[in-house]
A and B are shown apart, each in its own frame.
Chain A
Amino acid sequence: MFLYGFGPVLLAGTLKTIELSVLSLAVAVLLGLAGALAKLSRRPVVSGAATAYTTLIRSVPDLVLMLLLFYSIQIAVNHLTDAIGLEQIDIDPFAAGVLTLGFIYGAYFTETFRGAFLAVPRGQLEAGMAYGMGGARVFARILFPQMMRFALPGIGNNWQVLVKATALVSIIGLADVVKAAQDAGKSTFNMFFFVLVAALIYLAITTVSNVALIWLDKRYSLGVRKAEL
């Protein structure tokens, strides 16, 4: 029988992996934008805090951070519920996975966005101001669309790394595609085959993302002439 009847389990795991990646990406992008603006801030306290965030997070392995945050948040919540006399609340592993991955990759996105913000010529922002636009409008109409073009290669890289990092959440007990493959392998004594299937699924996800990124790159580079070498 094809996949020994474990097809639906693997499919559910794959969907979980994609869901986790996309949601963490959303959290990471939001944190990255906030972090980049904070890092470029003129206030030393704000930019210092953002620098500490990116330096610390990027120097510690993501798996260590995941375990640290995952266990510590649960214990902190337990202390909190004990203190106010509530019953124990078990954190949903999925939500914890999304938040920790988003928090970790937010640091990488901060660096990507910071570089991209700096790449937008200052004169364009000044021109926006001269038209009487406010800060938010300059951001939405001038800074953000142009920044995206510079940030896109970095975003693509981070996305590929993020997708592969989601494989680690099976270690904290989430039923992603790796966990599904391991379970299927254990019960059919066919570990090699099922892990290979999981690997192929990841390869398919990265290939599709690659194609999508090439398309997005074209889309955001419309109207920019390439130097002919």
Chain B
Amino acid sequence: MIDILSQFGRAFLYWDGHGASGLAMTLWLLVASLAIGFTMAVPLAVARVSDNRWVSLPVRCYTYVFRGTPLYVQLLLIYSGLYSLECVRAHPTFNEFFRSGLHCAILAFGLNTGAYTTEIFAGAIRAISHGEVEAARAYGMSRFTMYRRIVLPSALRRALPLYSNEVILMLHATTIAFTATVPDVLKVARDANSATYMSFQAFGIAALIYLAVSFALVALFRRAEQHWLAYLAVGRR
């Protein structure tokens, strides 16, 4: 145990001698993919609840495909699949982008969490009370202003409990990044395992790190709920 910690402790946390690794890499994967997912999800959720079928159907297809297939397969498709295509390799920008495992992982994770987050936000928008929208209309707000001032602030707040779940699941999903050679916590654990043959300790340390991050995220979201959902008196004991 001490051996692994002295040899791989730094790699588990932030630096493996070549670049960022371990916990730092895992958190970067998480933050980058959540940022992509969130920015995609807000407009897509608005489109998803639209009455116009031509607007809502494409979004529905997107969430259906990305929620219906495993993230590991999506990552394989982007990392191994796209890069094996001649037309992708021939293009210099695509070649540069898809050669990097980190880029592919962030793209796959972003698209995946974007699909789940879209459905979460769309559900929250649908659950908005009738009166709030009517009041906004009565004030003469345009559609855009109504969404910006009334619908989205309320829906995003109400989506917070479900969104926190999605964030934890995304943290857990980042573990497959090692299959695209990204040096996250699990990759370091696998390196430590193959170097020392102490499987239980190596993966145990990784499990403890993920456990700590999960607990920290849960605590963070509880504070956020107390702050933003105080008027609903949930999240309070």
A190 in contact with B72 (CB, 8 Å): no
Contacts A68-B200, A167-B72, A202-B70; A185 near B80 (Cβ below 8 A):
yes
Contacts A75-B199, A167-B73, A198-B73; A60 near B210 (Cβ below 8 A):
yes
Q: Which residue of A lies closest to B169 (CB)?
A: A161
Compute how far the CA of A65 lies from the CA of B207 in the bound complex, rounded to whole angstroms: 7
Cβ contact of A199, chosen from B74, B173, B175, B211, cutoff 8 A: B74
A182 in contact with B203 (CB, 8 Å): no
Contacts A60-B211, A61-B175; A164 near B69 (Cβ below 8 A):
yes
B77 in contact with A195 (CB, 8 Å): yes
Q: Please encode chain B, from 89 to 111, with 1 for each CB lying within 8 Å of some chain A CB and 0 for all others.
A: 00000000000000000000000
Contacts A59-B215, A192-B77, A199-B74; A68 near B84 (Cβ below 8 A):
no
Q: Please encode chain B, from 168 to 207, with 1 for each CB lying within 8 Å of some chain A CB and 0 for all others.
A: 1001111110010000001001100100000110011011
Contacts A64-B206, A71-B203, A72-B199; A185 near B84 (Cβ below 8 A):
yes
B73 in contact with A189 (CB, 8 Å): no
Interface size class of B (residues with CB under 8 A): 35 or more
B199 in contact with A178 (CB, 8 Å): no
Compute how far the CA of A156 lies from the CA of B143 in the bound complex, rounded to whole angstroms: 37
Contacts A60-B210, A64-B206, A199-B77; A167 near B84 (Cβ below 8 A):
no
Compute how far the CA of A63 lies from the CA of B77 in the bound complex, rounded to whole angstroms: 19
Interface size on A, residues (CB 8 A): 37
A46 CB within 8 Å of chain B: no
Q: Chain A residues near B68 (CB, 8 Å)?
A: 202-203, 206-207
A49 CB within 8 Å of chain B: no
Compute how far the CA of A163 lies from the CA of B71 in the bound complex, rounded to whole angstroms: 12
What is the minimal beta-carbon distance from A77 to any residue of chain B, in angstroms? 12
A37 CB within 8 Å of chain B: no
Q: Chain B residues near A168 (CB, 8 Å)?
A: 70, 72, 176
Compute how far the CA of A190 lies from the CA of B83 in the bound complex, rounded to whole angstroms: 11
B81 CB within 8 Å of chain A: yes
Compute how far the CA of A156 lies from the CA of B100 in the bound complex, rounded to whole angstroms: 36
Compute how far the CA of A190 lies from the CA of B77 in the bound complex, rounded to whole angstroms: 11
Cβ contact of A195, chosen from B81, B174, B214, cutoff 8 A: B81
Which parts of B38-90 form the interface with A (CB within 8 Å)?
65, 68-74, 76-77, 80-82, 84-85
Compute how far the CA of A163 lies from the CA of B73 in the bound complex, rounded to whole angstroms: 12
Q: Which residue of B lies closest to A167 (CB)?
A: B70
B214 in contact with A59 (CB, 8 Å): yes
Q: Chain B residues near A202 (CB, 8 Å)?
A: 68-70, 73
A75 in contact with B200 (CB, 8 Å): yes
What is the minimal beta-carbon distance from A87 to any residue of chain B, in angstroms? 20
B186 in contact with A63 (CB, 8 Å): yes
Contacts A60-B207, A68-B204, A168-B176; A195 near B69 (Cβ below 8 A):
no
Compute how far the CA of A45 lies from the CA of B43 in the bound complex, rounded to whole angstroms: 49
Q: Chain B residues near A164 (CB, 8 Å)?
A: 69-71
A68 in contact with B199 (CB, 8 Å): yes
Pick the most buried of A190, A192, A202: most chain B CB atoms within 10 A of its CB: A192
Cβ contact of A72, chosen from B73, B186, B203, cutoff 8 A: B203
B70 in contact with A165 (CB, 8 Å): yes
Compute how far the CA of A185 lies from the CA of B69 in the bound complex, rounded to whole angstroms: 18
What is the minimal beta-carbon distance from A55 to any residue of chain B, in angstroms? 9
- Chain B interface residues (CB < 8 Å from chain A): 65, 68-74, 76-77, 80-82, 84-85, 168, 171-176, 179, 186, 189-190, 193, 199-200, 203-204, 206-207, 210-211, 214-215
Give 19 A-B contacts (CB < 8 Å), ordered by A residue.
Answer: A60-B211, A61-B172, A61-B210, A64-B203, A68-B199, A68-B200, A68-B203, A72-B203, A75-B199, A163-B70, A178-B73, A181-B76, A185-B80, A190-B84, A192-B81, A192-B82, A195-B77, A195-B81, A203-B65
- Chain A interface residues (CB < 8 Å from chain B): 56, 59-65, 67-68, 71-72, 75, 163-168, 170-171, 178, 181-182, 185, 189-192, 195-196, 198-199, 202-203, 206-207
